[in-house]
Amino acid sequence: MTTSPSSPAAPAALAGRAGPAPVWRVRGRDVRLDRPFVLGVVNVTPDSFSDGGRFATAADAVRHGVQLAEEGADGLDVGGESTRPQGARPVDAAEERRRVVPVIAALRERLPGTVISVDTVKAETAAAALDAGADVVNDVSGFRLDPALAALAAERGAGVVLMHSRGGVSDMATFAHAEYGADVVEEVAAELGESVSRARAAGVRDEAVVLDPGIGFAKRSEHSLALLAALPRLARLGFPLLVGVSRKRFVGELSGVAEPAARLHGTVGANVAALARGARLFRVHDARAHREALDVAWAVLGRPEAR
């Protein structure tokens, strides 16, 4: 089955994007990335940095996921463990499963055409999530932390998002490992390349892989900005790029908005800029604003420059 979003018409030949749209292979289905892919965040956590506790019950989380899909999200990313910058409390696999599995099962039933990903670093949680109907494993450790996760994804034909980070769950969103030499982009590209090698070694097909620079993970704001600006270099790795800038610290710093949940406008700006530099998937807390903004930006960017 080929899933192709219905509107608006995909711009024909985009600067630097001529040729067929990339296809993301997720559990036997081809998701054509022929317009910006909006991945709505469904955090089933009491402690996430911007929406912790808001959707902590399964019923609230399902309602929220359905709303995000109605607002135009192509996919939903369900997570039961926070990586918040203040130092997250790791959650054991049993508790994480208890949080995400009923939500994924209910969303699968309500939204058969929506791509569902599970945001986890643990194979045990991912296995239960895939059983419940998830299509994609979003591993913020890029297959570093649980050696069984890559093999599981390969065996189940799951799509994978391999995000760059350093350290463990409790410190990956801090500055504990944010030491880079002269060229942060080169280092992140090399470490993402190692994630790709781990995926290939386990038998994950290249068409299943999406890469993510890991905005705010083991990165100061200057690093996040440098990476967003250099997305064309990361695209040379040969995989579609996802960015997760939503409500993050650098957005707050640049826009002067301290409260994470109030950072929508800055977030939209960052995502539109990332689109222009080659990102195709956008992990966001606010679906409607991004559906509209990214579709409009996509249509404009798809036009040839006037002579």
**Least gap, CB of 213 to ligand HH2 (angstroms):** 8
- Decide whether 169 or 297 has the Cβ nearer to ligand HH2: 169
- Decide whether 22 or 87 has the Cβ nearer to ligand HH2: 87
* Beta-bridge partner residues of 42: 78
- Mark the segment that binds ligand HH2 (CB under 6 A) among 18-26, 44-52, 102-110, 250-258: 44-52
**Least gap, CB of 133 to ligand HH2 (angstroms):** 19
Q: Cα–Cα distance between 47 and 62 in angstroms, integer? A: 18
Q: Which of 65, 244, 252, 266 binds ligand HH2 (CB under 6 A)?
A: 244
- Decide whether 30 or 47 has the Cβ nearer to ligand HH2: 47
Contact present, 116 and 108 (Cβ < 8 Å): yes
Q: Cα–Cα distance between 186 and 266 in angstroms, integer? A: 26
- Decide whether 106 or 140 has the Cβ nearer to ligand HH2: 140
7 alpha carbon, distance to own chain's centre: 22
Q: Which of 99, 283, 290, 291 binds ligand HH2 (CB under 6 A)?
A: 283
* Alpha helix segments (H runs only) across the chain: 58-70, 93-110, 123-131, 147-156, 184-202, 221-229, 231-235, 249-255, 264-276, 287-301
Q: Tokens for 275, please give them.
A: 């689109």
Measured N-to-C along each axis, helices 287-301 and 58-70 cross at an angle, to the nearest 10 degrees, of 30
Say which amino acid occupies 304: P
| Footprint (CB under 6 A) of ligand HH2, residues 173-202 | none
Whether 283 is catalytic: yes
Say which amino acid occupies 17: R
Catalytic site residue from 198, 248, 277, 280: 248
Catalytic residues: 248, 283
Binding residues for ligand HH2, rule: CB under 6 A, are 41, 43, 45, 48-50, 79, 82-84, 119, 138, 140, 161, 163, 212, 214-215, 242, 244, 283
